[in-house]
Amino acid sequence: MTIPRRSWRGAGAFAAAAVVGLAGGVISAGPAAAHTPTWAVTCSDVTLNLTAYSGNATNEVTVSVVGGEELLAKTQFGREYSTKTPLQLPKHDKELTVKLVVKAGDDDKYSFEDTKTAPVCEGDTPPPTPTEATPSETPSTEPPASETPEPSATPSETATEAAPAPAESTGSAPDLAETGSSSATPVIGGAALAVLLAGGGILWSVRKRRSAQH
């Protein structure tokens, strides 16, 4: 069976059209899948994964906290860039806004800017400041009634210290008054005894004479 030349030409034209259409689909799908910036923000760090950028151009990326410090200074990269170690956020007690800027070197339409919010990590929130309670009454400076002051000295010690010392006698002090007893008492007693004896002898001789007369 012989196939006409026109049929071969028609089949070739169809095949060529199909190849061109397929190539065009690949070309049109290429830019859609290129320049893919992926990033994530947690309460403590930031991760980046930039892929499918042009390896023939110089691309740049920066990450910073809005109104705060720069987490990643301007860094140049080629076809792709990713953070091997997450970018650490500073400790914060309120939410932070993190900004990503990617500048494509092949065409500015592929550049990318985005912001995300970093929440506060659990445990980083400071406890509320306690309020000081105002005392209802002014504290008294007087000591409690149950407390008794310690005595400065015991009564016995005070009396001992206050008693005057006895005066020492001296040889020049006057003699004490006589109380009726002196060195002449024995002499007087002997004279009285002699008087009594004499009186007894006289009385005895008188009685003897009277008895002799009778």
Residue range 144-188, pLDDT digits in tens: 566 555 655 555 554 445 555 555 555 454 554 455 555 566 777
Confidence of residue 60 (pLDDT cuts 50, 70, 90): very high
pLDDT of amino acid 200: 82
CA nearest 75: which of 58, 57, 97? 58
Whether pLDDT at 9 is above 60: no
Dihedral sign of CA atoms 87, 90, 95, 100 in order = negative
- Tell me the sheet residues that pair with 63: 72, 100
Q: Which two tokens stand for residue 127?
A: 């406890």
Pick the more confident residue, 144 or 3: 144
Per the document, the length of the chain is 214
Q: Are 81 and 50 in contact (CB under 8 A)?
A: yes
Mapping DSSP to helix (H, G, I), strand (E, B) and coil, where does residue 126 land?
Answer: coil
Query: What percentage of residues in the chain have a pLDDT greater than 70?
Result: 55
Residues 6+ apart with CB under 8 A from 88: 44, 45, 71
Pick the more confident residue, 32 or 59: 59
pTM of full prediction above 0.85: no
Distance CA 88, CA 154 (A): 76
Angle (nearest 5°) at CA 38 between 89 and 44: 15
pLDDT of amino acid 20: 42
Pick the more confident residue, 38 or 212: 38
CA nearest 37: which of 96, 83, 88, 87? 83
